[in-house]
Structure 1
């Protein structure tokens, strides 16, 4: 008898179907984002409007950029508490140089980003050369950056900025919806970092250092160079976030950044990046930032007090960290 061809069994069909699903690391955050959006769509009539989504993206773009640098550091099993204050310092440096010193806006912006990069490098040097814990290092530099910002600005808001420093806050019409130029910058940087982490040797080295620093060193990876590069790059992203903050608000605010460090950590944790290092996807961080933005926007539309918004955000962080802890123990 001739054998008749058989159809694929159920396991094979399931395997073929799951190939089209997002990676498991971002599937959970993505489902959480969709569930939150569906809930708020039933509670607020204008939640699903293009104008509201544009507002959410605009509110997320600064924290989203800070979260890129935070993700790189957390992937190495570190943490950065100074990012918000360093961002505020960068915004004051660039705005003060442009308005009071009369420097060309582009040069002032580059010097502001240079100042935040220098702070990131300082964090990296203290972590790698003196072997201080990242938590202690960045707690100290957070206070240093805050003090320098207040002293340099005289605790005064910098106004009357040149248009070149605020154009990224101007809307660009996309499919009939105004989208801030800074949002496009944020998305482009996420794409670049995703490619670097997924398809380059330095990206693989970063994950290796986060997984096991000593094992990475024994394989020939310069762990100190990786960490220095990561902290300096994070500082650069904080400087770009400072530029977007200035573009969004139209001023250099010395009081900015006081809660953004926790917001960035929240975005990273909700996005599925492990606080133990070595595991996470940068796209998950973007989804985590959007989750925070959707919750705050939706609760505002529902008329919920900002105090309860902070409460719910805190609960989300604890749940995400608890999930990470349990999965780490099982592994």
Structure 2
């Protein structure tokens, strides 16, 4: 028997506790899961195919990430406020048509570029006004905008494509070779945009307001945040990013086609969700979104190199989205306990 006054020996750590704590930390850190998934995908495709890690394929993956990555950046800002944008691909397509058609008809390339950016930003402003000022659901507003903007693109272009005839408009498609891999100027622009918005969201009042509005808009309002102005500004900035994506797209494709990027809205949402940003708002990071965009394109490229039918590629991507949303739902439920 233990004599009175003696203390029991300190219990050792419970077996597996450190592992469970590490797993819990990984799940609650938005970028750890996506980064792990990206590393695993690259490793698997590197071992199972002979062409995935070739300079040409890596260059293609990077180039394919540029436009969707920029669209996903704007989508991230909106989703962080608990909104969604189904019209971003359509806005980008209209931007390409406006820029390319004006130059094709003899207009000044700089003026055409500026007009395309303005049109995209104004469309973002209109969506923002409908959501922030009239209180309409973002899904309904942007679903309607999707149809209107795509139809406008076809009407304005007479349902024809226009060649890119300006060095200014296709600038982002050029670049430099690093280690045998062509890295376009558009890739550097994409990284610069993500670095800028990483700083803005984490270090500025506007960024903190975005997270606050996404978490609890009523609480944000009571603390003095102008919720409607914050939401409106997010849609305007996202519209400008869609215009930049249109400029980048003209460096990727030889012409502006009104039928291009039909699924860009879904691909951008996929990148955001896989990257760890919550569809319920207030949680996530743009770094995760960039990783998510890379995951989408690595999966498509790797499965293509492995000879997998494109339908199975869609199945794999869709499954990842469902899993990502499910994990986020579980984590949010745990946070409320």
Q: Same fold (TM over 0.5)?
A: yes
Per the TM alignment, residue 160 of structure 1 is displaced from its structure 2 partner at its CA by 4.8
Aligned twin of 1:317:
321
Stretches of structure 1 lacking an aligned partner (at least 5 in a row): 1-8
Aligned twin of 2:66:
61
2: CA distance between counterparts of 1:126 and 1:279? 24
2: CA distance between counterparts of 1:79 and 1:164? 32
Aligned twin of 2:4:
none
Q: How does 1:225-236 map to 2 (within 5 A)?
A: 225-236=229-240
What count of residue pairs does the alignment treat as equivalent? Answer: 315
Per the TM alignment, residue 176 of structure 1 is displaced from its structure 2 partner at its CA by 3.7
Matched, 1:75 2:80: yes
Q: How does 1:147-296 map to 2 (within 5 A)?
A: 147-296=151-300
SS in 1 for 2:83: coil
Aligned twin of 1:32:
37
Taking structure 1 as the reference length, the TM-score comes to 0.92
CA contact (8 A) 2:100 2:112 kept: yes
- Once structures 1 and 2 are overlaid, which stretch shifts more, 175-184 or 141-150? 175-184
Larger Rg: 2
2: CA distance between counterparts of 1:311 and 1:160? 34
Runs of 4+ with >4 A deviation: none
2: CA distance between counterparts of 1:198 and 1:130? 29
2: CA distance between counterparts of 1:59 and 1:133? 31
Aligned twin of 2:9:
none
SS in 2 for 1:80: coil
Per the TM alignment, residue 51 of structure 1 is displaced from its structure 2 partner at its CA by 2.8
Aligned twin of 2:93:
88
Stretches of structure 2 lacking an aligned partner (at least 5 in a row): 1-11
- Once structures 1 and 2 are overlaid, which stretch shifts more, 314-323 or 82-91? 314-323
Taking structure 2 as the reference length, the TM-score comes to 0.90
Per the TM alignment, residue 285 of structure 1 is displaced from its structure 2 partner at its CA by 0.1
Per the TM alignment, residue 49 of structure 1 is displaced from its structure 2 partner at its CA by 2.6
Q: How does 1:98-137 map to 2 (within 5 A)?
A: 98-100=103-105, 102-137=106-141
1: CA distance between counterparts of 2:137 and 2:183? 40
CA contact (8 A) 2:58 2:181 kept: no
